[in-house]
A and B are shown apart, each in its own frame.
Chain A
């Protein structure tokens, strides 16, 4: 999502005073000429998680996130337990992990971030997408390995209401013997025109979260919108890298020209069991094509001296911001999600030029889950957690540099959003 904050408020003020003056009998005062001043964009809305064993999350809105304290003390809309935060246009969805309810927030007539609407769902929703900043797509996942059907929700961002709910399948091999077959666990949804691309992991069907076919990347392609009972029109595979995506983190992004890029990790540290023998890498599906581009292969391990990509998001100009696990040697199963793994670095990837640039100024850190980023005036705001502290950093995408902001008086900020512009 792109926003360019202008000096709209200032201009509006001047215009208003000009209008007011024109009706008066007094002499017209010439407009005051002011030098353009650089003001920080805002207000910002952010998803704040407190520290402590009793979890709580707050949706806080304030004018500045680089000068004001970042805290939920006495402010913020209280959420229940753990939530996914997902922006679609100027609507923010918070999707409860445990209470089967999603709530949408939007700026209301009083110019405040306020609840728009809510919906309930049966199975916990695990993977999300924004379609053209207008629709939230959300799907559940086969947690226990059974060959259940998936449900895809389409939610109108303008109203926050579910407009359709369809059952569909991704991939199932059922031999009748538990553990021999596989199920598809979705890791990303991307809509391009009348197609839905869904990347997935193949997990064993006994519910042990084994990855028996770790050495292939898979994307299921559907006619979009999906009809009830939809099945993939095709499933494409590529043996150059591992299953696409990392649990909870989006594995597939779309650039402005319609190219899709996928990321694969393949490490035991992100839950592969066994690990893939293939390198962590990016693949591409070109615009108007429904196959992996055989000529495109971006070996992240080669480009980052053995690093593996953990998360990425598109930030324009064929660039992605990404988090790289610098070293997964000897990692425990799912170890990348544990706090003491301070070995994540933030980078800018040029998807076309196939370069990785470390973002200057951000220390090694750890991150469990990241909401999609918003580019606000060419900047991306991130919460960076190290062993003893959490700080906001302002990342300039073009220069791949970051400025350290104020300390976060909490565990993390899951995402920063501009819901006003």
Chain B
């Protein structure tokens, strides 16, 4: 019996590939996410900014005090140590990142219960879907990360079902040089350069680059030991031996600022490459590979324009480029966890399936224009239109039977948004209401059997949806802010979901977008005394999501993507921050989320007996805490210590109530502790840090049986001018 999964054959690794995070850094975009430009945002009144800076969470009062549920994560406090964006996100409430390996491994980020492509990523407001999400960037190349939960403003023009993560690069307001180099366990090397030079007050050039490598040869404590016939003779520990990851990225941006005709007009050019050796598939450690690898190669060029006229602000971007991914399975070898191999008798067999050298090329073109018109001092309207075109070309030079995306195909998404923004009661009350129109067209040509003859069949789709939302915030008291927001959100289908891939994955012209009603209710409070500052935030979230797009192997050899699952999520996330004098701080956050199956029937129309039960294989309780202490030593040198503890409660791989409780497959509780010691001298120009990750060498898993790295040490040097 043959059940193709969409990843069968050469496709099996392509989802890995999508997750091989491309290192793409794009220029500052026109608008920051709330539609106001940076300068405006910084002009805010007094003591609250003070509080916020103390809190270390956001520099943008306007954002936080808006009704949108947005967390602004400042990267500053992470720049001296070995942190990338993913690790910073992981330490924020409501977010859990699951990884299946070390540096460069596939990850799945869940935001208030929605995950994967239900979350959209942006760099400076430009959508990064299909490129991965650049989240392995070291903190040094970015200024902040804005996390919009469930309700996303129209300027982030995309189809974000569960929220959006917008990575903001440093602002173009002063010369900056930030150099860093990290060396650590598993032969990890990372170097980053960020250089910004402003000439004559109106011309700038910026270089942002990152190179990283890791052997990722960490020890797996519990892998199968097998004999030459495949019999599992026991378990053993083994080092990963084919998991090397190397990546390099450079972005050069230049242009003019502060001109009569433009506040910014710039061109950005990005080149990125990476290579990822694959130790095993992303779902199982049983198939061990010794040669299998993938490579990606990306070139992008973009242009930005923005101008703030009196009452009218305009911004626009263009982005075009190419992303090429190669999956190389050309060795007929059978490896075990000791790194030994036997040659397969069949020369046609690769490590994964039939030998294959498969390239998928994405050609993208993206454009956006946004305008904001100030109606009165208290209210404005915004209009935004985004267009996103994608063409995929597949080519397998070794396995000629692999014809995925070999015939012409394309999709185009267009999102048009209109919003009205107003405030009252001296800005104590803020209200935003918006509507988004999603348009989706696509076409694929595929060889299909029609009356038992293979024919080139063209499938076309044309979809449209209307979503809307609102946000409201009220400053009840100088120290108390309440906010609520709602959006009816959609995720349009990905190319292969609606168009199929050619041979085995059939097109589904009746596929509907994923839909979710997202509701947040939050409370923020902060209070300071002479020597302490405290901040508390709690957010209750509700997601009523349906029509999840899932792959269905419905006809033995053929499958199709269908709208299947409905999930209701109710959760609470909260965070507490305490600063004690200038030297000590503590940040704690915790999230509890209940993801409940709301599918009454399954894909075959049979009553789903797990209706109303918790969705399996999803973490539902996680928390972390970060304790910081900082001391001034001689000559204004600074010594800082950070202790971070994270907890993810155990969860079941399958439905909780089924099966013998003693024999259930479980992803065990993770409890890890990290220590960072930083020393800064010469007024902060020179920084050196030592980081110890997973200090007690706990065996930790995000995914069933796929162990993550144990104890690791990193030494980082940073020069800042």
**Which residue in chain A gives the minimum CB-CB distance to B603?**
A53
Please report the total number of B residues contacting A with Cβ < 8 Å.
67
- Asked if A120 contacts B401 (CB within 8 A), the reply is no
- Does B44 sit at the interface, judged by CB under 8 A? no
- Complex partner residue of B229 from A145, A163, A210, A335, CB under 8 angstroms: A163
Residue among A100, A146, A167, A338 with the highest chain B CB neighbour number at 10 A: A146
B-contact 0/1 string along A37-61, CB 8 Å cutoff: 0000000000000111110101000
- Does B655 sit at the interface, judged by CB under 8 A? yes
- Complex partner residue of A208 from B8, B229, B447, B665, CB under 8 angstroms: B447
- Complex partner residue of A146 from B283, B354, B452, B599, CB under 8 angstroms: B354
* Interface residue ranges, A against B (CB under 8 Å): 50-54, 56, 58, 72-78, 80, 82, 84, 97-101, 117-123, 126, 141, 143-149, 153, 161-165, 167, 178-179, 205-210, 228-229, 247-248, 271, 273-274, 332-335, 337-340, 369, 387-388, 409-411
- Asked if B658 contacts A72 (CB within 8 A), the reply is yes
Q: Please provide the chain B residues from 103 to 125 with a CB less than 8 Å away from any CB of chain A in the complex.
A: none
- Does B624 sit at the interface, judged by CB under 8 A? no
A147 to B349, CA, bound (A): 10
Residues in B neighbouring A148, C-beta threshold 8 A: 346, 348-349, 354
Residues in A neighbouring B283, C-beta threshold 8 A: 98-99
- Asked if A143 contacts B655 (CB within 8 A), the reply is no
- Complex partner residue of B348 from A72, A147, A162, A271, CB under 8 angstroms: A147
Residues in B neighbouring A146, C-beta threshold 8 A: 348, 354, 399, 401
**Which residue in chain B gives the minimum CB-CB distance to A178?**
B400
Indicate whether A340 sits within 8 Å of B557 (C-beta atoms), given known contacts A120-B286, A121-B230: no
**Which residue in chain A gives the minimum CB-CB distance to B550?**
A53
Residues in A neighbouring B334, C-beta threshold 8 A: 122
A179 to B449, CA, bound (A): 13
Residues in A neighbouring B422, C-beta threshold 8 A: none
- Asked if A335 contacts B555 (CB within 8 A), the reply is yes
Indicate whether A141 sits within 8 Å of B661 (C-beta atoms), given known contacts A52-B610, A53-B564, A162-B229: no
Residues in B neighbouring A179, C-beta threshold 8 A: 454
A75 to B659, CA, bound (A): 4
**Which residue in chain B gives the minimum CB-CB distance to A409?**
B609
A163 to B653, CA, bound (A): 32
A333 to B454, CA, bound (A): 14
- Does B424 sit at the interface, judged by CB under 8 A? no
- Asked if A339 contacts B604 (CB within 8 A), the reply is yes
- Complex partner residue of A144 from B284, B399, B556, B655, CB under 8 angstroms: B399
- Complex partner residue of B655 from A56, A248, A332, CB under 8 angstroms: A56
Min CB distance B552 to A, Å, is 9
- Does B423 sit at the interface, judged by CB under 8 A? no
- Asked if A101 contacts B286 (CB within 8 A), the reply is yes
- Complex partner residue of A120 from B226, B345, B354, B564, CB under 8 angstroms: B226
**Which residue in chain A gives the minimum CB-CB distance to B605?**
A339
A97 to B1, CA, bound (A): 9
Q: Please provide the chain B residues from 258 to 288 with a CB less than 8 Å away from any CB of chain A in the complex.
A: 283-284, 286-287
User: Please, could you name 20 A-B residue pairs with CB atoms under 8 Å apart, sorted by A?
Assistant: A50-B610, A52-B597, A52-B608, A58-B659, A73-B658, A77-B659, A77-B663, A78-B664, A98-B5, A123-B349, A146-B401, A153-B230, A162-B230, A163-B229, A165-B229, A229-B345, A333-B558, A338-B555, A339-B605, A340-B604
Residues in A neighbouring B53, C-beta threshold 8 A: none
- Asked if B555 contacts A167 (CB within 8 A), the reply is no
Q: With contacts A73-B657, A77-B660, A148-B349 known, what are 10 further pairs, Cβ within 8 A? A: A53-B602, A78-B659, A99-B286, A100-B284, A118-B231, A120-B232, A122-B334, A162-B230, A163-B229, A165-B229
**Which residue in chain B gives the minimum CB-CB distance to A50?**
B658
Residues in A neighbouring B565, C-beta threshold 8 A: 53
- Complex partner residue of A100 from B287, B558, B609, B610, CB under 8 angstroms: B287
A70 to B150, CA, bound (A): 41
Residues in A neighbouring B710, C-beta threshold 8 A: none
- Asked if B556 contacts A337 (CB within 8 A), the reply is yes
**Which residue in chain B gives the minimum CB-CB distance to A55?**
B654
- Complex partner residue of A117 from B232, B401, B605, CB under 8 angstroms: B232
- The 7 tightest CB contacts between A and B, nearest first, are A248-B1, A334-B555, A274-B452, A207-B401, A339-B604, A149-B346, A162-B229
Indicate whether A338 sits within 8 Å of B2 (C-beta atoms), given known contacts A78-B664, A100-B284: no
Residues in B neighbouring A76, C-beta threshold 8 A: 658-660
Q: Please provide the chain B residues from 327 to 383 with a CB less than 8 Å away from any CB of chain A in the complex.
A: 334, 344-346, 348-349, 353-354
- Asked if B556 contacts A334 (CB within 8 A), the reply is yes
Residues in A neighbouring B467, C-beta threshold 8 A: none
Min CB distance B546 to A, Å, is 12
How many A-B residue pairs lie within 8 Å, measured between CB atoms?
Answer: 202
- Asked if B558 contacts A51 (CB within 8 A), the reply is no
- Asked if A247 contacts B1 (CB within 8 A), the reply is yes
**Which residue in chain A gives the minimum CB-CB distance to B402?**
A144
Min CB distance B573 to A, Å, is 25
A162 to B1, CA, bound (A): 22
A243 to B615, CA, bound (A): 43
**Which residue in chain B gives the minimum CB-CB distance to A100?**
B286
Residues in A neighbouring B616, C-beta threshold 8 A: 54, 56
Indicate whether A51 sits within 8 Å of B602 (C-beta atoms), given known contacts A77-B663, A334-B556: yes
A411 to B601, CA, bound (A): 11
- Asked if B557 contacts A119 (CB within 8 A), the reply is no
A167 to B286, CA, bound (A): 21
- Does B3 sit at the interface, judged by CB under 8 A? yes
- Asked if A143 contacts B2 (CB within 8 A), the reply is yes
Indicate whether A273 sits within 8 Å of B452 (C-beta atoms), given known contacts A99-B286, A126-B2: yes
A207 to B349, CA, bound (A): 15
Q: Please provide the chain B residues from 544 to 593 with a CB less than 8 Å away from any CB of chain A in the complex.
A: 550, 554-558, 564-565
A161 to B9, CA, bound (A): 28
Residues in A neighbouring B609, C-beta threshold 8 A: 50-52, 409-410
- Does B607 sit at the interface, judged by CB under 8 A? yes
Q: Please provide the chain B residues from 461 to 489 with a CB less than 8 Å away from any CB of chain A in the complex.
A: none
A228 to B597, CA, bound (A): 50
A189 to B22, CA, bound (A): 48
- Does B503 sit at the interface, judged by CB under 8 A? yes
- Asked if A78 contacts B658 (CB within 8 A), the reply is yes
Min CB distance B226 to A, Å, is 6
A152 to B452, CA, bound (A): 32
- Asked if B353 contacts A144 (CB within 8 A), the reply is yes
- Complex partner residue of B605 from A54, A206, A248, A387, CB under 8 angstroms: A387
- Does B606 sit at the interface, judged by CB under 8 A? yes
- Asked if B2 contacts A411 (CB within 8 A), the reply is no
Residues in B neighbouring A332, C-beta threshold 8 A: 555
**Which residue in chain A gives the minimum CB-CB distance to B557?**
A209
Residues in A neighbouring B665, C-beta threshold 8 A: 78, 80
Residues in A neighbouring B447, C-beta threshold 8 A: 208
- Does B224 sit at the interface, judged by CB under 8 A? yes
Indicate whether A210 sits within 8 Å of B657 (C-beta atoms), given known contacts A53-B550, A120-B286, A161-B231: no
A-contact 0/1 string along B646-680, CB 8 Å cutoff: 00000001110111110111000000000000000
Residues in B neighbouring A165, C-beta threshold 8 A: 229-230
- Asked if A53 contacts B608 (CB within 8 A), the reply is yes
